[in-house]
Structure 1
Amino acid sequence: MGLYELVVIFVAAFIYGVAGFAFALLAVPLLSFTWPLKRIVPLVALLATSLNGLMLFKMRKSFTFKRVLPLLIGGLPGVLVGAYFLRHINDAFLRVVLGIVLVFYGLWGLKNPKRPFVIGDNWGYLFGFLAGFLGGALNTPGPPVIIYLTLKDWGKDEIKSTLQGFFFLLAIFVIFSHWRLGLITSEVLKNYLMAFPIILFGLFLGHRLYGRLSLKIYQKILYSLLVMMGLLSFPWKIGG
């Protein structure tokens, strides 16, 4: 693992420490310039799960499983439906729809920081289903969960801890799948051990900055990252 890879992992861990998500969003495309995806994806999954677990432990006083349960219940069947769509429908169409929704919602949120309305916990089943659908179809389960949390009347600690709980439990299934497929090799584990101190340092600095942010600024960061996720969702290479 070279200096470039370590810097990418550090920056992604720092952003994750601030926002509570987006580690894989940043790390995977940047690492893909020098490494093949079969080497990147299982490594990022291990690192992201470690970050989720550490952050969840740190924010355990703000976390309740009750907030995550509707998302998980809705997410399981969503994964199956998403996998079906991936097999039978052009994923470029799904990426375009996802990108448009995220960019417009993120820009709208930046322009109108006050949430238009507050939704109840039962909406978690629907947004969980959408998260599972996008996870099964495009491996991007995060956006619906983030949108759902921006429409809840919660503080930033409740939002961030719920993100950690959902992503941590989801990541366990991902790692298990990678292990069953033989993707977690000795080389991946070696790189994981090398990168682990780096993500700890990035997480520490990012979470320190998070502690100084107001709810309003934190929400702006979430909306900005949604716009970024939307732009990255577009199949830019099509036609080129």
Structure 2
Amino acid sequence: MEVLLAGCVGAAAGLAGFTQGLAGFGSTLVALPVLGAVLEARTATPLGCLMALGINVCLMARLRGRVAWRELVVLLLASVPGMALGAWMLWDAPEALLKGLLGAYLVWCGARGVATAGRETPSIVGAALPGGVATGIVAGVLGVAIGVNGPPVVAWASRRLVGRDVLRATLAGYFLAAGVGIVGSQWVAGLVTPRVLWLFGLSLPALGLGLAAGATLCGRISEPAFRRVVFTLLTVAGFGLLWQAANTAAAGGG
């Protein structure tokens, strides 16, 4: 059993590092299903979040010179009132509806992005800042209300930021700030146990190898191919949210 556990944790870490090293996001998207197969949710979730935090620390250290700081600051500042609004909505938020709408948007955005990758050129423009404010607010609301804050940010940034390293660095900055808050709250709640920390330490070699492999591949594929990877992951995330919304609705959870 311990061998199986170690293998699954290593596989989850390798997939998480590779995916985020390549696309700049998606570590928990691929890691949590694997971790959830061998661990209870109270262990799998904080372990996956620690993995994501470690990945973003490494990406931010490596790519900090490529961060679009204006866009990052706008997203982070706008997320604060969004979080407050999400907390106010928490008890009455229609979870299935919110997940369904977000999932449908991500499927549309992802499929359109895959189809137009290489034909549309993202650009950083001043007029994009209102969109950044709106995205930050929405991400803050959804992060508190239904536990999903990343996809709206990725969808917006992938259409605004020029260059894969700029996109990956800016996403790493956003997810690093969010991850500190998430892991900190899990620590206060007693979820970051000695066992979680031991499993995280066990995952580090595979995490590092996966991150290095993903970053290497990212540097070797074309910009249109990179964009297709990003939008394909968004599409997968969208279908995942639609599935969750259907299950929530079927269970009578709003």
1:230 maps to: 238
1:90 and 2:94 are equivalent in the alignment:
yes
The DSSP-based 3-state class of the residue aligned with 1:140 is coil
Indicate conservation of the 8 Å contact 1:149/1:159, yes or no: yes
1:217 maps to: 225
**Matched residue pairs, number?**
240
The DSSP-based 3-state class of the residue aligned with 1:38 is helix
Of residues 64, 77, 81, the one that matches 2:81 is 77
- Within 2, Cα distance between the matches of 1:198 and 1:15? 13
The DSSP-based 3-state class of the residue aligned with 2:148 is coil
**What residue identity is the alignment partner of 1:54?**
C
Indicate conservation of the 8 Å contact 1:115/1:150, yes or no: no
The DSSP-based 3-state class of the residue aligned with 2:250 is coil
1:137 and 2:148 are equivalent in the alignment:
no
- Within 2, Cα distance between the matches of 1:190 and 1:153? 37
Q: What's the TM-score, normalizing by structure 2?
A: 0.88
Residues 1:212 and 1:49: Cα distance change in structure 2 (over 3 Å): same
CA RMSD of aligned residues (A): 1.8
- Tell me by how many angstroms 1:116 deviates: 8.1
The DSSP-based 3-state class of the residue aligned with 1:88 is coil
1:51 and 2:66 are equivalent in the alignment:
no
Alignment of 1:1-240 (within 5 A): 1-113=5-117, 114-115=119-120, 120-234=128-242, 235=244, 236-237=246-247, 238-239=249-250
- Within 2, Cα distance between the matches of 1:166 and 1:153? 14
**What residue identity is the alignment partner of 2:43?**
R
**What residue identity is the alignment partner of 2:250?**
G
- Within 2, Cα distance between the matches of 1:117 and 1:10? 30
Q: What's the TM-score, normalizing by structure 1?
A: 0.93
- Within 1, Cα distance between the matches of 2:63 and 2:122? 26
Structure 1 gaps of 5+ residues are none
Indicate conservation of the 8 Å contact 2:13/2:51, yes or no: no
- Tell me by how many angstroms 1:117 deviates: 7.4
**What residue identity is the alignment partner of 1:59?**
L
Indicate conservation of the 8 Å contact 1:11/1:202, yes or no: yes
**What residue identity is the alignment partner of 2:13?**
I
- Within 2, Cα distance between the matches of 1:120 and 1:188? 40
Residues 1:137 and 1:115: Cα distance change in structure 2 (over 3 Å): farther
- Tell me by how many angstroms 1:66 deviates: 2.7
Indicate conservation of the 8 Å contact 2:75/2:136, yes or no: yes
The DSSP-based 3-state class of the residue aligned with 2:220 is coil
Structure 2 gaps of 5+ residues are none
Q: Deviations over 1:177-206 (max 9, x none)?
A: 111111111111111111111101100111
115-124 or 8-17, larger mean C-alpha shift = 115-124
Q: Identity of aligned pairs, percent?
A: 28
4+ runs of 1 displaced by more than 4 Å?
116-119
Indicate conservation of the 8 Å contact 2:8/2:34, yes or no: no
